Chains A and B, each alone.
Chain A
Amino acid sequence: MYRGREGQWAFLLHRLSGLAILAYLLLHVFSIGSFIFGERFYMVIHETYDLWPFRIGLLFVTAGVVYHAFNGLRIIVMDFTGFGVAYQRQMWYGVLLISVAAFLYSAWTLYPRLVGGY
């Protein structure tokens, strides 16, 4: 595998987070949309997804979305401005910082609910 510098890792993480979010999106649309099959069907899926491993998984989905969103903004800045290319490394560390901060914030805020289950 080619191990480039920050740009390569940014690209790889962008792809992986994008595919992971897409996989989550497909499950999410199906599970929420399943209300058209009636309350029983919906609640069976919903109660399964309410188990604690899934609830903690949502934190990682959140961090993945934040990374993908802010790295996407970084890509847009790189595409349309000259300084975006010049400062892409610094911006990537900013993106990582924001993603970690978002993860910690939601983990801190939601900790009792995610573990306690209410």
Chain B
Amino acid sequence: MIRARTFTDARQQSHSNAELNWWIFMRISGLILVFLILGHIYMTFIQVSESDATFDAVVGKLANPAWKFYDWLILALSLMHGANGARYSIEDYVRSRPNRAWVKGVFYTVIALLFAFGTIGLFSI
């Protein structure tokens, strides 16, 4: 809840709210990702050979809407979880303000492009 009388107050408070929301998001998405990703590794790496993941196998698997949704959920959650985790590292180790701005800018752009690429790929089949 934001109870601010000036813009500066609101900005400070909303900043900490966003930080708190990301903190909660990391716990919840992490809990879900444990099942999604360990299941993904078991089904696509432990049980199935890497050389089985041919073009036809991938296209065939993703034709099933259930796998499409499973993979898209991993894509969305893990990219957000990973991007926020990397943001923590950037804020800890990139000390100067201008450097931090462009490092984050480039990094978020890469994440956004990859998310768009993965989503288009999944739903174009």
On A, residues with C-beta under 8 Å from B are 15, 18-19, 21-22, 25-26, 29-30, 32-33, 35-36, 39, 42-43, 46, 49-50, 55, 58, 62, 65-66, 69, 72-73, 75-76, 79, 106, 109-110, 113, 117-118
Number of residue pairs A-B, CB distance < 8 angstroms: 84
Interface size on B, residues (CB 8 A): 33
Q: How far is the CA of A50 from the CA of B30 in the complex (A)?
A: 29
On B, residues with C-beta under 8 Å from A are 27, 30-31, 33-34, 37-38, 41, 45-46, 49-51, 53-55, 58-59, 75, 78-79, 82-83, 85-86, 89, 110, 114, 117-118, 120-121, 124
> Out of A30, A36, A43, which one reaches B120, CB within 8 Å?
A36
Q: How far is the CB of B111 from chain A (nearest CB, A)?
A: 8
What are 10 A-B pairs with beta-carbon distances under 8 A? A18-B86, A21-B82, A32-B58, A39-B55, A50-B50, A58-B50, A65-B38, A106-B45, A113-B50, A118-B51
The reply to whether B117 and A29 form a contact with Cβ atoms under 8 Å apart is yes
The reply to whether B50 and A49 form a contact with Cβ atoms under 8 Å apart is yes
The reply to whether B54 and A43 form a contact with Cβ atoms under 8 Å apart is yes
Q: How far is the CA of A76 from the CA of B78 in the complex (A)?
A: 17
Q: How far is the CB of A51 from chain B (nearest CB, A)?
A: 10
Task: List A contacts of B38 (CB < 8 A).
Answer: 65-66, 69
Q: How far is the CB of B23 from chain A (nearest CB, A)?
A: 9
